[in-house]
Amino acid sequence: MKIFQVDAFTAQAFGGNPAAVCLLTEPKPDAWMQQLAQEMNLSETAFLLPEADGYRLRWFTPAREVKLCGHATLASAHVLWSEGLWDAERIQFQTLSGTLIAHRKILATQDWIELDFPASVPKLLDVVPPGLAQALGTAVAQAWQDDALNYLLVEVATSEIVRNLQPNFLALALIPSAGIIVTAKAIAPYDFVSRFFAPNLGIDEDPVTGSAHCVLGPYWRDRLTLAQRPQTEFLAHQASARGGIVQVELVVDASATEAASNPQRVILAGQAVTVLRGELCA
């Protein structure tokens, strides 16, 4: 079986978020996939199994399987196209989050991949989870909960606060959440900046997190305006040490009334670079 390591949401090697992509030739037990994810020791290892109209796609952190992963989906699509394993400009993945679509596009003479993901609108919590501010090391006035992915979201005053955070990960792991998003309005050319911490998934900090932007897009739609209308397209920067760029576009059901027009889907666009090709011996 072939395996690849891909840096996602970046145009430069050794940036963005690294993911392993394993091309399965037959179904494998969950325990085997979890062991391989532990062996790779990256934030995500993706497993692709061919199906009649696309691929079955699953994602594992070193600790457990997850329901949705953006950067490993981007990496998977990149491998299929760059290795000549898929000819069409559209790939369909069957996942725990339903059918996900990847599109190949050329933007400014560069290859980009668009991912069609479900949007998730966070809800304001009545009370900030105890210990969250202390674990993050910054004041937290309000917190939002995403039910679909079990993420917490916190907005802070400036992008500098986001960039300079040094959380206590042992304390953060006591917060009952799959991941914590910290975000702030950014300085041009970016619309917003974020970081993502997930010690409960075995990842202290994820370098660039596609699934977090399924929550961040709807959140910032209601807080940023363009020509006096809610903004629906964003250029986002995830400010980890490796860093990464994500284009975000919200898609709203045209039949919905304006008052109830929550975004249904999020289009995430990014680039990717293959840094390793290998063959599994075990």
Residue numbers annotated as active site: 44
Pairing of strands 54-60, 203-206: unpaired
Tell me the three state secondary structure of residue 46: strand
Distance CA 39, CA 42 (A): 9
Which single residue is written with the structure tokens 């955070």? 165
Which single residue is written with the structure tokens 């966070």? 122
Beta-carbon-side half-sphere exposure of residue 178 (alpha carbons within 13 Å): 18
196 Cβ contact partners less than 8 Å away, ≥ 6 residues apart: 179, 180, 181, 182, 205, 206, 209, 212, 238, 240
For residue 163, give the DSSP letter: H
Q: Where would I find the H helices in the chain?
A: 30-40, 70-82, 132-136, 159-164, 169-172, 210-221
Distance CA 102, CA 4 (A): 18
Q: Tell me which amino acid residue 191 is.
A: D
Which single residue is written with the structure tokens 């594992």? 60
Distance CA 83, CA 79 (A): 6
Torsion, Cα 103 227 245 178, to 10 degrees, reads -90
